[in-house]
Amino acid sequence: MAILRCNKCGLLAEQADSQAGQTIACPKCNTPAAIYPTIFFIEKLLDKYFTAQRELIRLKSAAAPPAASAAAPAQTSPLADIDLGNTDLLATELQHGPIYDWFRKKQIKVQANVRGVDTSGFFDEVAEAIGSNLELFGEVVERIRWSQ
């Protein structure tokens, strides 16, 4: 299903996939509202989520008081505060630098899909929720399987 998003009243509603890309009157406030393909809408939502997550990590690290100790400073991993099962911090152009260099040396032009490296656990959490509530989600899973 496509998603209708009204910028005036904030209504979110499902619409037929055939209406994706169109603008129709919002059913709630009658303001013109765009209908987005579901994947596009989710990608934008995830982009905002991970931007906010990175900002939160940055703010937490900036607000953390420095560890003042007379003893030798403890060595911590730069990944110590990152939940590797739920992050996109490793999915950056910088992280792919050595891979790009290797291909460049071989005179191969390459473009990585950094979104494909996102390790967020969203789908794991969804699978876990479906598995533990199969009676509730069984019909939904069957409809998805049938449509694919």
Q: Is the whole-model pTM more than 0.75?
A: no
pLDDT the model gives residue 146: 83
How does DSSP assign 123-147, residue by residue? HHHHHHHHHHTHHHHHHHHHHHHHH
Q: Is pLDDT at 20 greater than 80 in this prediction? A: yes
**Where is pLDDT greater, at 54 or 34?**
34
pLDDT of 88 over the 80 cut: no
- List CB contacts of 76: < 8 A, sequence separation 6 or more: none
Backbone angles phi, psi at 104, to 5 degrees: -60, -40
Q: Is the pLDDT of residue 75 over 70?
A: no
For residues 15-27, average pLDDT: 91
Radius of gyration of the chain (CA): 22
The pair phi, psi for residue 147, each rounded to 5°, is -70, -30
| CA dist., res. 107 & res. 100, Å (int) | 10
Higher local confidence (pLDDT), 13 or 78: 13
Using alpha carbons only, give the angle 128, 129, 133 rounded to the nearest 5 degrees: 115
Higher local confidence (pLDDT), 119 or 51: 51
Q: Which amino acid is at 77?
A: S
Residue 77, token pair as written in the block: 């991993």
- For the cut 60, the answer to whether the pLDDT of residue 34 exceeds it is yes
Q: What SS3 state is found at 9?
A: coil
